[in-house]
Amino acid sequence: MTLPPSVTPAAKIAMDEIPVLQHPVAAAADLGMGTPSARTPSSTKRLSHVKERFIEALLFLAAFSSVAITVGIVGTLLYESSSFFTHVSLKEFLTGTLWTPLFASPRFGILPLVTGTLITTAVALAVALPIGTVVAIYLSEFAPSYVREIIKPALELLSAVPTVVYGYFALQFMSPLLQKVLPGLPTFNMLSAGVVMGIMIIPYVSSLSEDAMRAVPMSLREGAYAMGANRIITALKVVYPAALSGIVASYILAISRAIGETMIVAIAAGMQPNLTLDPREPAATITAFIVQVSLGDLPHGSIGYQSIFAAGVTLFIMTLIFNILGYILRKRFREVY
């Protein structure tokens, strides 16, 4: 069969299938349904209908497995931490200022872990949000397209580097570097962990924000230029506000990443729960605590074992709030254009 060169691959394959479709017997053989001679056209049709429904059911199950995973996560967290909360009151958990679940006289106040998490997150955001936003504006409004084509994937490599390697980098490179600027900084501190974490999440902010800004219609920019605005004024006063919900969604994704980040803080921020607001001090985050407990050999069902699930629930709820916020904002951002 000779085809004109303009025929699409789909049409070409479809044309190849014509003879098959003209002969039901061959069609049955093609569908792999036993000896063709026993099949009449109508039973072939019925069988292929059954096969179609069966495949659809399989695909549905695959899609539904994601719901099963969520049920598994929520169920496990609730089940394991419910026995924790029969030993420890919610009030002590939320307001206690000491977290020593593995000591002889254990205390279960989650606050030191929460402050550790919030301080490292705040440091990371102080690095990632300004830099990420400027990079996004630069790539979307200033950079020539060939620069963008190279820089964007290169920056995305930042989020592809394994976090344990970042932990090494924070401890062996960033800490000594910061110690030169801030004498007296301990080797393990929240500052260097937070800074490295911030650099890691730059691409989350820059890529998504850039996508949002590029989705802003060109006519808005042209309007601003016609009024005599230069590029930077257009970017800050027209494009940035127009893309705001997408940009904020990227900020929220960054926050949720920073809260859940584990290995950098486990390696470089120290593992000692410490109720402080000073980023120069070492402290444990919620995630670092879970890692620390998992490294030891805790018996299944002990209070120490249950305490990591209680910490996990806290972490899950914190990230869930931000995820839902981000989801709503992304929905809105999609509807605008």
Interface with another protein in residues 76-95 (CB under 8 A): 76-77, 79-80
Q: Which of 52, 87, 20, 49 is nearest to 310 (CA)?
A: 87
3-state secondary structure of 99: strand
Interactions with another protein, residue window 204-223 (CB under 8 A): 206
Which of 23, 46, 51, 237 is the binder for another protein (CB under 8 A)?
51
Which of 6, 66, 105, 145 is the binder for another protein (CB under 8 A)?
66
Alpha carbons 310 and 215: distance in angstroms, whole number: 42
Task: Determine if 26 is a binding residue for another protein (CB under 8 A).
Answer: no
Beta-bridged to residue 99, according to DSSP, are: 108
Which of 33, 36, 48, 126 is the binder for another protein (CB under 8 A)?
48
Interactions with another protein, residue window 261-320 (CB under 8 A): 261-263, 266-267, 287, 290-291, 294-295, 297, 300, 308-309, 312, 315-316, 319-320
Beta-bridged to residue 108, according to DSSP, are: 99
In terms of C-beta density within 10 A (0-12 exposed, 13-18 middle, 19 or more buried), how is residue 319 classed?
A: middle
**204 within 8 A of 132, measured Cβ to Cβ:** yes
Element (H, E) at 329: helix 303-336
Task: Determine if 259 is a binding residue for another protein (CB under 8 A).
Answer: yes
The one segment of 88-96, 100-108, 255-263, 273-281 that binds another protein by CB under 8 A: 255-263
Interactions with another protein, residue window 151-180 (CB under 8 A): 151, 153-155, 157-158, 160-169, 171-173
3-state secondary structure of 141: helix
- Measured from the CB atom, the residue of 115 and 133 that comes closer to another protein is 133
